[in-house]
């Protein structure tokens, strides 16, 4: 039976040191610096492939492992199929017994609920900001006068590559500005 640890932080600026310390008793440790919301977590995939019957997967918190309740249930099913128990240190969960499995499922649902509430609050904040006139996204590279000037130069036969150099824009952006339907001046 091997104790296999998995540690994850969401961004490059964050440190894995606290999780490494808590997982120091593990025989093998998989770690990565990736957002939990992305599917591309190669170390998690490698960790799940590495696990064998009788092993324990050990994480510090449930949210370090899964991005949603559905994902958590999928991982739990994979672990069950392999005969692997999950141990979550900070929440004191061990799925080798019925109480641990119950607590595991309850905390997963609560975590999903918190994520959805956070997303709702974020959307409310964005809506309020838009109502106040806050603009989101990248600002246009050219003003209306510059767009008119760009179109005039193109009609005079100036090459797109020369317009790209003059306005310091990509070819795609130049063509977007040249399409009348997108930018009426």
- Write a three-state SS string for 138-157: CCCCCCHHHHHHHHHHHHCC
Please report the pLDDT score of residue 179 as a whole number. Answer: 87
Domain positions in the chain are 3-115, 132-185
pLDDT tens-digit readout, 144-171: 899 999 999 999 999 999 999 999 999 9
Query: pTM value?
Result: 0.59
Residue 37 in this model has a pLDDT that exceeds 70: no
CATH superfamily, domain at 3-115: Resolvase, N-terminal catalytic domain (3.40.50.1390)
6: β partners: 30
Catalytic residues: 10
Please report the pLDDT score of residue 69 as a whole number. Answer: 74
Check: CB of residue 165 under 8 Å from CB of residue 150: no
* Local confidence band at 29 (pLDDT 50, 70, 90 cut-offs): very high
H or E stretch at 7 = strand 3-9
Q: DSSP for 72-114, please give it.
A: HHHHHHHHHHHT-EEEETTTTEETTSHHHHHHHHHHHHHHHHH
């Amino acid at each position: 039976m091997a104790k296999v640890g998995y540690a994850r932080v969401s961004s490059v600026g964050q440190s894995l040191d606290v999780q490494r310390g808590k997982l120091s008793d593990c025989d093998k440790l998989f770690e990565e610096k990736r957002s939990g919301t992305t599917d591309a977590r190669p170390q998690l995939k490698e960790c799940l492939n590495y696990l064998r019957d009788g092993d324990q997967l050990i994480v510090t918190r449930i949210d370090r492992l899964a991005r949603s309740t559905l994902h958590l249930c999928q991982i739990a099913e994979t672990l069950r199929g392999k005969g692997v128990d999950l141990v979550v240190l900070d929440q004191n969960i061990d799925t080798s017994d019925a109480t641990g499995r119950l607590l595991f499922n309850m905390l997963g649902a609560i975590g999903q609920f918190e994520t959805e509430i956070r997303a709702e609050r974020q959307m409310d904040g964005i809506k309020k900001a838009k109502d106040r006139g806050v603009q989101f996204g990248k600002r246009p590279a050219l003003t209306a006068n510059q767009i008119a000037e760009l179109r005039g130069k193109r009609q005079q036969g100036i090459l797109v590559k020369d317009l790209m150099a003059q306005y310091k824009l990509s070819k795609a952006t130049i063509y977007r500005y040249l399409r009348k339907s997108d930018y009426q001046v």
